[in-house]
Amino acid sequence: MSSPAPLLVVDTPSLLYRAFFALPSSIKGLDGRPVNGLLGCANLILQVVEAHDPRAVVLCNGAEAAHYRTAAFAGYHAAREPMPEKLVWQWEQAPAFYERFGWIHHASEDLEADDLLGAYASVEREAGGRTLLFTGDRDMFQCVDAQTTVLFPGGKDGPSVVDVAEVRRRYGIEPAQVPDFIALRGDPSDGLPGAKGVGEKGAAALLAEHSDLETLIDLAARDAATDSRSLKPRVRTALREQADELRAFRHIATLQPVAVTRPPDTPTRFAEAAEAAREFGMARLADRLAAWRA
């Protein structure tokens, strides 16, 4: 007996940016505006639709830097460049364009796209379904379990499949430990420095032995009080001096609970998608979609 079709949930900002920088801005629509991001993102999603035949596709968008994260640490996303000018118009067109494919669009002004992705994975899990999270954000590895898989873009033959075993292979930790791992290791893309002198291998080793950040902070305090040596002096000092900061990093890395409605089965509308693609001057994509429908 075949398993039910999965729900595909897409990190729209992640894929739009990736597509925009992967394809030249000389790819333009009928009005002369660049459409490289829109086209590339559509192709990435369609590749997954073809491979996995999802029961529905949900595209998530949100704030660049959610208030609860910048309030926890002012340096969060502080060094990120503004959106490229040639992407701005494409970004604005994306919701209406992709909705014509039959893909559901969900945006939040207060939360980030990753919070929405996690919420959809949770509601699908509760209903006994499976979820594919299509994202280039490694923070989302915290959602991985028997019913939730991350599709990480950039593979030669399509996105890489990140399941529980792959999280263990890559980082030596369990998916649920990802927020603690990020707090200790840091995350340059988000502007999080991590614990001084720990690094990726050190963070993995600490969590393999002591399970979570709070346990490590408590252990560092006991070591200092009893002059024991459960932790290396450098690590103990970092955990003691940065305790509150590391807790903030973990809070930032942890997805926030969001109430979402489980979407109904919604197949891709290839005929309407072909019309939309043709209106944007994407002739090859339009032909491909029309042939797919046939």
Rounded average pLDDT over 190-212? 92
User: What is the sign of the dihedral through the CA atoms of 206, 247, 183 and 159?
Assistant: positive
- Residue with the bigger pLDDT between 160 and 294: it is 160
- Residue with the bigger pLDDT between 167 and 78: it is 167
pLDDT number for residue 143 = 97
pLDDT number for residue 175 = 97
Do the two domains 7-171+259-289 and 175-253 of this chain adopt the same fold?
no
User: 175-253 sits in which CATH class?
Assistant: mainly alpha
- pTM of the predicted model, to two decimals? 0.94
Question: For the segment 254-283, what is each residue's pLDDT rounded down to a tens digit?
Answer: 998 899 999 999 999 999 999 999 999 999
Does residue 85 carry a pLDDT above 90? yes
State the Cα–Cα distance between residues 220 and 240, nearest whole angstrom.
Answer: 6
pLDDT number for residue 1 = 47
pLDDT number for residue 195 = 93
Q: Which of the four pLDDT bands, split at 50, 70 and 90, describes residue 292?
A: confident
Domain ranges of the chain: 7-171+259-289, 175-253
User: pLDDT > 70: what percent of the chain?
Assistant: 96
Rounded average pLDDT over 51-62? 96
CATH architecture of the domain with residue range 7-171+259-289:
3-Layer(aba) Sandwich (3.40)
DSSP state letters, 249-286: HHHHHSPPP---PPPPP----HHHHHHHHHHTT-HHHH
Rounded average pLDDT over 150-176? 93
Q: Which of the four pLDDT bands, split at 50, 70 and 90, describes residue 155?
A: confident
Which amino acid, one-letter code, is at 132? L
State the Cα–Cα distance between residues 13 and 34, nearest whole angstrom.
Answer: 17
User: pLDDT > 90: what percent of the chain?
Assistant: 79
pLDDT number for residue 227 = 56
Rounded average pLDDT over 34-63? 96
Question: For the segment 91-124, what is each residue's pLDDT rounded down to a tens digit?
Answer: 999 999 999 999 999 999 889 999 999 999 999 9
pLDDT number for residue 76 = 87
Q: What is the per-residue burial (b if ≥16 Cβ within 10 Å, else e) of 51-75?
A: ebebbbbbbbbbbebbebbbebbee
Question: For the segment 27-45, what is each residue's pLDDT rounded down to a tens digit?
Answer: 999 999 999 999 999 999 9
Does residue 244 carry a pLDDT above 50? yes
